[in-house]
């Protein structure tokens, strides 16, 4: 057998790495989403509310300023005084050319100068303008709208708000999300490491068991707790190993028994040839006798190898092309073939098989079964004895019985007679040309066609072999 070389799994190929990495990638994606989406949505909401509030405040100022006399510094100052504190960071009013008339931020010194602001320029062209940004934890929003009177642009109102309070709220949310994310990341990573460790440990246990069994230690079993897929896999592996162990034991015993059986006739042949070759003064009759014995041993070897080949063919379980076969015809052929043997052994052969009883099998296999059973009935019989073959359709089965009035099988051997090479009386079997394989062949052949064979002791003497097959539907008697 080719030795299987198992390379250690590299870090990147290992199931554990793949498992942990997949877990981490999914968690990272979820956390990124958790940290960005709510913040972006909140920012957007704040921007929208700022736009509404700032533009409406600018509108209030603009409508207070709008009038037929236009805008001038004093007039704007008065109106702004009446409006009081707007709560805004800055309010600026310009004339139509963009020159600042009023500014709540005196530090800028902008009054009397051009307001060089994009928003103001847009407002002077008649457009409402708003922009807001969120930087350094605060919202900075600007809005500008035109001051119009009867379709005339009198100037622009620019308002500016710096809101650190809402900004801090958002920073707070962001920090909370970060903390939650960190906890989730740590817990998820730890859990994935623990699970992957447990998974790879159990897989490693299975792998080691497979390797041990592969190296020939068939008694090794995996012990795995739990009821998950891996435990089921371990159970299946153990069942498979059980089967492998049994098969291996049967194979070993068979090979050793077969070698032993082949060795005996070979030793006899060797002994007989040595006797002829080493003895110069051996007389021709003795040579004749020895050569005859050699021929007998060779015939025995031939029988054993033929039986072994039959068993090997049955073990290989090649697909069979079974067909309905009539039992009566095959039984008559067996009777015809074994009649001379029965006559020589002074045993009476009797058949009672109804016409038309069919079994789904091959003709050769049914012949082999009946031949072996009837031949045994004759071989292990006594002069004046009987062998009878019955067949009948019985309780949904085809039952074939071969009964004899022979020497019988002792109670303690009855379970073993179907074992390969098992013989109750070795000397008798040998004298009758037996190989100890006939009944194994009968059993394997019957089972191969869905049937079975059992043996019973008959009282007062003899044995009864019962072969049963499922009823053959098409062409059968049913």
Residues 6 or more apart whose Cβ sits within 8 Å of residue 384: 346, 347
Place of tokens 């303690």: 412
Interface with ligand ADP: number of residues (CB under 6 A) = 23
**Of residues 224, 437, 446, 472, which one binds ligand ADP by CB under 6 A?**
437
Per CB under 6 A, the list member of 380, 398, 401, 469 interacting with ligand ADP is 380
Closest CA to 371 of 430, 306, 315: 306
Does 436 interact with ligand ADP (rule: CB under 6 A)? Answer: yes
Of 127 and 263, nearer to ligand ADP (C-beta) is: 263
Between residue 405 and residue 424, which ones bind ligand ADP under the rule CB under 6 A? 406-409, 417, 422-424
In the complex with ligand ADP, the residue whose CB is nearer, 303 or 397, is 303
CB of 398 vs ligand ADP, minimal distance in Å: 21
Hunting for tokens 């500008």 — which residue is that?
Answer: 144
Q: Does 466 bind ligand ADP (CB under 6 A)?
A: no
- Say if CB 27 and CB 190 are below 8 A apart: no
Question: d(Cα 222, Cα 370) in Å, to the nearest integer?
Answer: 45
Environment class of residue 144 by beta-carbon count within 10 Å: exposed (0-12), middle (13-18) or buried (19+)? buried
Task: Answer yes or no whether residue 429 interacts with ligand ADP by CB under 6 A.
Answer: yes
Which tokens go with 449? 């066609």
Q: How far apart are CA 232 and CA 242, in angstroms?
A: 15
Minimum CB distance to ligand ADP smaller for 132 or for 443: 443
Exactly one of 141, 463, 467, 468 binds ligand ADP (CB under 6 A); that residue is 463
Least separation in angstroms between residue 442's CB and ligand ADP is 7
Of 220 and 457, CB closest to ligand ADP: 457
Largest CA distance in the chain: 163
CA-CA-CA-CA dihedral for 238, 244, 250, 251, to nearest 10 = -160
Q: Which strands sit side by side in the sheet containing 90-94, from one edge to the other?
A: 100-103, 90-94, 152-163, 138-149, 129-135
**Of 3-11, 183-191, 342-350, 374-382, which part binds ligand ADP (CB under 6 A)?**
374-382
Minimum gap (Å) between residue 459 Cβ and ligand ADP: 14
- SS3 of residue 292 by DSSP: helix
Closest separation in Å from C-beta 478 to ligand ADP: 30
257 near ligand ADP (CB under 6 A)? no
State the residues that interact with ligand ADP by CB under 6 A: 372, 376-377, 380, 404, 406-409, 417, 422-425, 429, 434-440, 463
């Amino acid at each position: 057998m080719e030795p299987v070389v198992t390379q250690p799994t590299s870090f990147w190929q290992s199931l554990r790495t793949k498992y942990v990495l997949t877990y981490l990638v999914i968690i990272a994606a979820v956390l990124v989403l958790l940290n960005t989406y709510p913040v972006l949505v909140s920012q957007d909401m704040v921007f929208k509310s700022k736009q509404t509030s700032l533009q409406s405040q600018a509108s209030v100022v603009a409508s207070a300023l709008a009038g037929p006399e236009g805008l001038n510094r004093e007039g704007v100052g008065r109106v702004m005084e009446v409006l009081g504190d707007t709560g805004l960071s800055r309010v600026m009013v310009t004339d139509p050319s963009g020159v600042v008339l009023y500014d709540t931020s005196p530090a800028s010194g902008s009054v009397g100068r051009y307001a060089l602001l994009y928003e103001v320029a847009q407002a002077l062209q008649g457009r409402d303008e708003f922009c807001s940004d969120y930087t350094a934890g605060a919202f900075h929003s600007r809005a500008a709208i035109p001051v119009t009177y009867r379709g005339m642009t009198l100037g622009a109102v620019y308002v500016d708000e710096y809101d650190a309070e809402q900004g801090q709220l958002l920073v707070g949310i962001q920090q909370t999300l970060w903390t939650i994310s960190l906890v989730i990341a740590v817990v998820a990573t730890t859990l994935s490491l623990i699970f992957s460790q447990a998974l790879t440990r159990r897989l490693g246990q299975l792998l080691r068991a497979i390797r041990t069994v592969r190296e020939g230690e068939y008694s090794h079993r995996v012990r795995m707790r739990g009821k998950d897929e891996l435990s089921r896999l371990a159970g299946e592996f153990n069942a498979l190993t059980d089967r492998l162990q049994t098969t291996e034991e049967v194979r070993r015993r068979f090979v050793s028994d077969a070698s032993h059986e082949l060795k005996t006739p070979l030793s006899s042949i060797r002994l007989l040839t040595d006797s002829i070759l080493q003895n110069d003064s051996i007389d021709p009759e003795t040579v004749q006798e020895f050569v005859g014995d050699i021929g007998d041993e060779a015939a025995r070897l031939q029988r054993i190898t033929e039986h072994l080949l039959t068993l090997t063919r049955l073990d290989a379980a090649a697909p069979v092309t079974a067909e309905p076969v009539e039992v009566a015809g095959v039984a008559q052929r067996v009777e015809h073939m074994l009649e001379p043997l029965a006559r020589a052994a002074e045993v009476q052969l009797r058949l009672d098989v109804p016409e038309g009883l069919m079994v789904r099998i091959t003709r050769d296999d049914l012949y082999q079964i009946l031949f072996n059973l009837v031949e045994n009935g004759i071989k292990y019989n006594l002069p004046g004895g009987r062998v009878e073959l019955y067949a009948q359709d019985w309780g949904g089965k085809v039952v074939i019985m071969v009964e004899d009035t022979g020497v019988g099988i002792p109670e303690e051997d009855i379970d073993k007679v179907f074992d390969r090479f098992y013989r109750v009386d070795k000397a008798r079997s040998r004298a009758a040309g037996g190989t100890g394989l006939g009944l194994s062949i009968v059993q394997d052949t019957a089972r191969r066609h869905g049937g079975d064979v059992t043996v019973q002791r008959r009282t007062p003497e003899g044995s009864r072999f019962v072969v049963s097959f499922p009823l053959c539907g098409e062409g059968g008697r049913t």
